[in-house]
Structure 1
């Protein structure tokens, strides 16, 4: 006779290889837990039945099953008509140890309860298959203790099986040779459950393998354990008097608990294999063929095997014999006789077809209908108690957490406030929620909070040019030149067509003075450069005298067509693009003690031979020195050459020559565009041919120089907002030296004024004239509260003595880089003040004071913002001028936000070289009224 082992599902070759497919068959299924040394084998007693390692691993191959998921092996005893099913996997110690790395990584990713729940569910599906295709079920355990963890499996199988009845009937109806009774009852019988324990208490265990009777106390222990198991199953209502109503049955008049009292097995696997090989070689009843798994036994099993007083073979075959002879009838009670019992021993071929279909239904879960899917979910929910508890608990706590989020909510709020409220809700949720679904419900809670926030409560949050977010509800419309922050959109997509149209507003108000500083007014936080640097001051000019004052207009875009547009700017090189004032107008005045010695020229400054551009931009700009200088006039170029050639002590001598006509023509080649305008502010990295639509600077003339009295300072009525003792300008004494005789009538007509002026007394030297002029300058800072003050040095606020006398002069201001931001000394919470105005009172002399302001708002390089003039701005004599600087500096990459921390005030600066002196000519800048 032949013995074959195969894994489910069966293939057609295996079924066709059976000689007698119509022979009645009894199915015995073995499941449970195994020890580590058993290597996932729970059917060792079956190996003993046939004296072959049927369910053990091969002698030369690896372990037969090391998978963590459940699998079912099948061995068919064709002569005896018995099918053994062996379930391995989840609860076998060897399988868990072999897959510990995979299991650990999965637990780390999903959590222990989730992974364990999945393993239990897969194991329960395999059990559901065994309970529907078997006659006898053997539950094994390494130690003689009833494992109560199986109670939850039995209860789950009993609850879910009733929901599979229609699916089972439908499946059986499609298989040929399935009896009507089988289809109606949906299973072969109510299977018997037997309990096999691999060991017994030590006092009952045999010391060696003999045929001697078992210990007298062993039977009592088995019967005692039977009573305990029966009581537990009855109280849990897993079994009942009518076996057909239960998932399985307990035999009424037969033993169903067996404790193996055999001596301890050899724990060393190598020793076991060696002994097995020796026994195999000494055996004469085995003929070895090609495969060890297929062997042919010539002799019968020893005759006295079943006569032993206590062995598993006799214990199991007593139940198998009953199944073959009359079937099982395990009903008890007064209704046991009236209720018929169903039992069927199917043909092996038919059973194989049914087993395949049931395996696909329960284990593989292929092509499930809706009813079967519901049944599977029922099995999962009944089995997974932890998940059910977690779900109920989380559902109960979630409304409480949402109420914590909704408490005291404003009409609309920003992302930071939303995140704070979400964190508060999560804190409440985490205090009460438990279980494996905690993370899932946290995600649901966050999504619900986001949905509530995005359904009409979301704030716009578009940043202004000063860094404040828009506080309006989420809306469309509104122009902005700063960084645009798109609204948060997760799974809840916002319909922007339903949003209101409104302008941006941060609800932040500032107090600022007008162009001339005579009037203060409140201003909204700007979102566009035009609003910040132009529109506000135009509105203030309508209510102030500065709208009627003389002014110098800055270069702006002049369109020549109706369809003009903003230029498309691309990435700029990290060096200055070659504007005239960026290369030729950065100068450092030479210090001469408390005065400065200047020589007059067409465009005049004094500087050392070191190029200031290179000091600011580094080596990269030096490579562009030649093309930059090609755009200068001959006077400028000659002056630069002389600066490099003639240095006498601390004085610089400049020879003045007339401007070459050809050079003037070259300077007129670059004309600004009349069809495209610069979309931002003008700086040294801007294209040469583009101008902005509006000026960000303002230069107005308040009137005659007599408006300022150095003894009184700036009056509060004319210049409101100044802090005490800071409303004064600094005197700046400049010594002017003329190297040649006056070349025009202007010098001749004013010759007597220079000699007779008490302030501008000069002395004649051979071939030159030298005289001194006094200029008053002031660097005004303004904070968001409207506080204004002057600085006398880059790190010092101007202060006066007790009698109101200013002891400081303007040398430090004129010869140093002035910080763009400075801490305001106001008594309340200090704010950061910004450099906003430059005050200049020009002398009554035949010279022009010139201004060439350049602002670099970024500490580590970056663009330098300029006025747009190709030459320094010449101011008229004996007048009071106020230069208003931009309120916001915005480059091609966005605005430069003012610092929030007073320690960062050094990040921007007004470059030195702002003030200079030029000779008075007849072609000066004209005032625009």
Structure 2
């Protein structure tokens, strides 16, 4: 005879290899938990039945069921007509230890409850298969204690079985030779559940292997455990009086609990290999194949007195198998037990194999499930996943509360930071009450709901201004922003931008700033464009101030020659304007001969004795005149100091005077700017040579005669509002000018007596040279966003006066140092950062010109240097009187890569005004400028 073992699902070769396919069979399924030493084998007693390692690993095959997922092995006793199904996997200690690394990784990714729930669900699907294709079910356990964890499985299988009835019947109807009663009941019978315990209490164990009777107390212990199990199952309503209404039945008049009282076996691997080798050598009919194992032995090889033992598992199990073969199971009890017919069927082997394959695909593999079967599977999962169900119900209950916390006291629209704060508040409320494995999933849902609520008409624009403040308007379309700072990336909420309102950007931040001349202060909105920041505001202020009546210089701007002009496309990094570096390593632009920009202020005031010079200016607006613009911006070449240069040593300026002849004068190459394309940003050293901006970002005006400024009084509050106490003073800068040789120019000759007689310009003659001193008053003004203004006397010091109002400091540090672009304002304990906005200069009454060449580098770590656009320093000229001049710096500095935001803290990078701003040049009638 043949004994065959195979794993499910069956193949056609295995079914066809059975000689008698129509023989009735009884199916016995074994499931439960196993100890680590048993290596996932729970059917050791089946090995003892046939004296062969049927469900143990052989020397050729690897240990079965090394995976965490459940698998089912099958052994068919063809002579006896018995099929044994052995379920291994999830809850076997050996399987878990073999896959502990994979399991740990999965737990880290998904969490313990999710992984454990998945294992339970797979195991329950395998149990559902066994309960639908078996007659007898044997639940094994290493110790003689009822494992109450199976109660949840039994209850889940019982509740979900009704959901699978239609799917089972539909599957059975497709298989030939399935009886009508089998089709109607959707199973072979109400299977019996037996309990097998691998050990018993120590006092009941046999000292050695023998066929003698068991301990007297062992039977009593088994019956006591039977009563406990039955009581538990009845109270949980898993079993009932009518067996057909339950997922399984408990025998009414037969024992169903067995405790193995055999002495402890030595489950050593070496011993197992030795015994297996001996068994294989003693049996000559062993045949090992790839898919299954055929073990052949004679029928009389089974121990003849095995069934005669008073207490053994074979007798215990075969008593139930005999009942199944003879009359089937009838486990109904109670008064209605006789009236309710019982159903039992022992199918043919081939028919059962076909049904088993289909049921395996339905329950275990879950292939080609219809909607009803999917719903049934989800029902089974919900019955098993108690933790998940509790978590889902709890999270659903708490989510509206957390959403209400988010919506509490919300403004009409708000920005991303406020939204994130409210989301964090909602998550805090949610985390206080929500529990379970679905917590993370519902957190994501809550965040998505908050995002949708925010994006449904409550989202703020948040486009950044040139000073770094976000737009506080509702999300809208329209509005202009300069530089690469664009509207922030919006979430994927599919907003229809056509439905948005059209409006300009506004950050709702207001600043207080002075006009170009500093005579009037006004509020200004936070700018979003360079034109608004550096030009439009000051043009508006000039309408209500004397700025429009004062003499000024026009800076180079774009002059279109056609209506079809456009902004230049700066895709690549523009070339750097050439220049030379001074001793400090900073860029210095050499002055070209014959290209000095001149601001002539002579003749503006006939006398400085007017009671109110400002009113006089306003009354004589016709005197205002603007000089022609410099239309050419030449490229500055890198050169060394040559002849006709001025040399500076400390506060002494050496001017080498030479004759000039207009006929022999070298003419510099003037590169004409473009008249069809303009520079989209501000002019700096990395801008293309041929492009000019549409509007100037600088301003230089003459405030009037120097009598407007008294060094004892300083700048008057009525004329220059906003200055802090004792800071509205200019610094005296004494400069010694030395001529290399006597000038041949008639201007120097005509003013010879003036120089000798001037009290502040006393000179002395030397061989081939002449020295004289000039006094220039300079002031570097800073202005904070609140409108407070003050002067600095050094790069790190605010100008202060003595108690009698006398300025003891001079302008040496200011003129010979890099001045910071931003300086902390002393107006508050948490200082605001004031910005360098103006330079005040009082020109001397001498045959020299004061020149200005401001260059600003907003980023101290490198980057472009912003310049005025002239190819030479600007000359402040006069003919008779001294004058008070003022140059206005840009409010915002923006390069090709966007604006340079002002620092929030004094410790941050502050930018700088490069030294070399002030200088003195020879005053000539031909308007020639000698290099310094």
TM-score using structure 2 length: 0.91
1:632 deviation in Å? 12
Check the 8 A contact 1:198/1:259 in 2, yes or no: yes
Cα distance change on mapping 1:673 and 1:593 into 2, 3 Å = closer
Deviation at 1:62, TM superposition (A): 2.4
The structure-2 alpha-carbon separation of the partners of 1:197 and 1:910, relative to structure 1 and needing over 3 Å to count, comes to same
Deviation at 1:258, TM superposition (A): 0.7
Tell me, yes or no, if the aligned pair for 1:204 and 1:218 is still in contact at 8 Å: yes
Of 866-875 and 839-848, more deviation after overlay is shown by 839-848
Residue-by-residue CA offset, 1:659-706 (whole Å, 9 max, x unaligned): 899998874342111111111111111111111111100001111222
CA contact under 8 A between 1:714 and 1:727: conserved in structure 2?
Answer: yes
Question: Structure 1 residues 814, 349: closer, same or farther in 2, change over 3 A?
Answer: same
SS in 2 for 1:875: strand
Instruction: Give, in whole Å, the separation in 1 of the partners of 2:646 and 2:927.
Output: 29
With 916-925 and 53-62 compared, the bigger mean Cα shift is at: 916-925
User: What does the per-residue CA deviation read over 1:763-796, in whole Å, with 9 as the maximum and x for residues that have no partner?
Assistant: 3333333222211111111111111111111111
CA deviations 1:376-408 (Å, max 9, x no partner) are 000000111000111111111111111111121
* Cα contact 1:678–1:692 (8 A) shared by 2: yes
Q: Structure 1 residues 97 and 665 mapped into 2: Cα distance closer, same or farther (>3 Å)?
A: farther
**C-alpha distance in 2, partners of 1:541/1:119?**
80
Q: 1:867 to 1:487 in 2, by over 3 A?
A: closer
Say which structure is richer in helix.
1
Q: How far off its partner does 1:547 sit?
A: 1.0
Judged with a 3 Å threshold, the aligned counterparts in structure 2 of structure 1 residues 549 and 591 are, in CA distance, closer, same or farther, namely closer
- Alignment check: 8 A CA contact 2:793 2:799 kept: yes
Residues 914/427 of structure 1: CA separation in 2 closer, same or farther (3 Å cut): same
- Contact 2:633-2:673 at 8 Å conserved across structures: no
The corresponding residue for 1:737 is 738
* Stretch moving more, 645-654 or 204-213: 645-654
Once the two structures are TM-superposed, the CA of residue 53 in structure 1 deviates from its matched residue by 0.6
- Residues 225-264 of structure 1: CA deviation (Å, up to 9, x unaligned): 1111111111100011111111011111111111111111
Q: Cα deviation per residue 1:257-297 (whole Å; 9 max; x = unaligned)?
A: 11111111112121122134335545688799999932221
Between the aligned partners of 2:203 and 2:656, the Cα distance in structure 1 is: 124
Q: CA deviation at 1:621?
A: 48
Contact 2:839–2:887 (Cα < 8 Å) also in 1: yes
How far 1:761 moved relative to its partner? Answer: 2.8
Measured at CA, do residues 657 and 345 of structure 1 come closer, stay the same or move farther in structure 2, by a change above 3 Å? farther
**CA shift for structure 1 position 837:** 0.2
In the TM superposition, what is the alpha-carbon distance from 1:922 to its structure 2 partner?
A: 3.5
Stretch of structure 1 that moved more, 737-746 or 563-572:
737-746
8 A Cα contact 2:471 2:506, kept in partner = yes
- Rounded to whole Å, the distance in 2 between the matches of 1:151 and 1:242 is 19
Distance apart, 1:570 and its partner CA: 3.2
Deviation at 1:589, TM superposition (A): 13
d(CA) in 2 for partners of 1:101, 1:614: 91
User: 731-740 or 191-200: which moved more?
Assistant: 731-740
C-alpha separation between the residues in 2 aligned to 1:135 and 1:670? 104
CA contact (8 A) 2:633 2:871 kept: no
In structure 2, do the counterparts of structure 1 residues 286 and 129 end up closer, same or farther at CA, with 3 Å as the change threshold? closer
How far the C-alpha of 1:827 sits from its partner, in A, is 4.6
Deviations 1:644-663 (A, max 9, x none): 99999997755455789999
Maintained 8 Å contact 1:555/1:695: yes
Distance 1:921 1:383 in 2: 102
| Cα distance in 1 between the residues matched to 2:609 and 2:586 | 14
SS in 2 for 1:279: helix
Contact conserved, 2:30 with 2:138, CA < 8 A, in 1? yes
The 10-residue stretch of structure 1 (593-602 or 440-449) with the greater mean CA deviation from structure 2: 593-602
Q: Could you say what secondary structure the match of 1:703 adopts? A: strand
Whole-Å Cα distance in 1 between the matches of residues 92 and 374 of structure 2?
A: 28
Q: Which stretch shows the higher mean deviation, 795-804 or 629-638?
A: 629-638
**Counterpart in the other structure of 1:126:** 126
Moved more, 280-289 or 835-844: 280-289
Task: Give the number of equivalent residue pairs.
Answer: 924
Residue 545 of structure 1 and its aligned partner are, at CA, apart by 0.2
Counterpart Cα distance in 2 of 1:61 and 1:601 = 112
Q: Please give the alpha-carbon distance, in whole angstroms, between the structure 1 residues aligned to 2:817 and 2:712.
A: 26
The offset of 1:903, in angstroms, is 2.5
Q: Secondary structure at the match of 1:395?
A: helix
Contact kept? 2:594, 2:927, Cα under 8 Å: no
Equivalent residue for 2:918, pick from 909, 915, 918: 915
Equivalent position of 2:881 in the other structure: none
User: Deviation digits for residues 799-842 of structure 1, max 9, x if unmatched?
Assistant: 11222221221111111111111111225542111110000111
- Tell me if the contact between 2:71 and 2:87 (Cα under 8 Å) persists in the aligned partners: yes
Shift of 1:753: 2.5
Please list every run of 5 or more consecutive structure 2 residues that lacks an aligned counterpart in the other structure: 879-885
Separation in 1, partners of 2:393, 2:76 = 47
Deviation at 1:745, TM superposition (A): 3.4
Indicate how the Cα distance of structure 1 residues 168 and 626 shifts in structure 2: closer, same or farther if over 3 A, else same.
farther
* Native 8 Å contact 2:634 2:689 kept in 1: no
Q: Which moved more, 1:760-769 or 1:558-567?
A: 760-769
Distance 1:210 1:731 in 2: 122
Deviations 1:51-88 (A, max 9, x none): 11111001243212200000011111111111111100
* Distance change in 2, residues 1:606/1:670 (3 Å): farther
Shift of 1:735: 1.7
- RMSD over aligned CA atoms reads 8.1
The CA distance in 1 between the partners of 2:13 and 2:861, in whole Å, is: 81
The more displaced of 336-345 and 637-646 is 637-646
Q: Does the CA contact (< 8 Å) of 2:551 and 2:625 recur in 1?
A: no
Q: Which runs of 5+ in 1 are unaligned?
A: none
- CA–CA separation in structure 1 for the residues paired with 2:895 and 2:286: 94
Query: SS of the counterpart of 1:635?
Result: coil
Provide closer, same or farther for how the CA distance between residues 195 and 402 of structure 1 changes in structure 2, counting only shifts above 3 A: same
2-structure distance, mates of 1:764, 1:849 = 23
**Structure 1 282/486 Cα, relative in aligned 2: closer, same or farther at 3 Å?**
same
Indicate if the aligned counterparts of 2:47 and 2:54 stay in contact, CA closer than 8 A.
yes
- Measured in 2, the distance between the counterparts of 1:405 and 1:74 equals 59
CA contact (8 A) 1:29 1:130 kept: yes
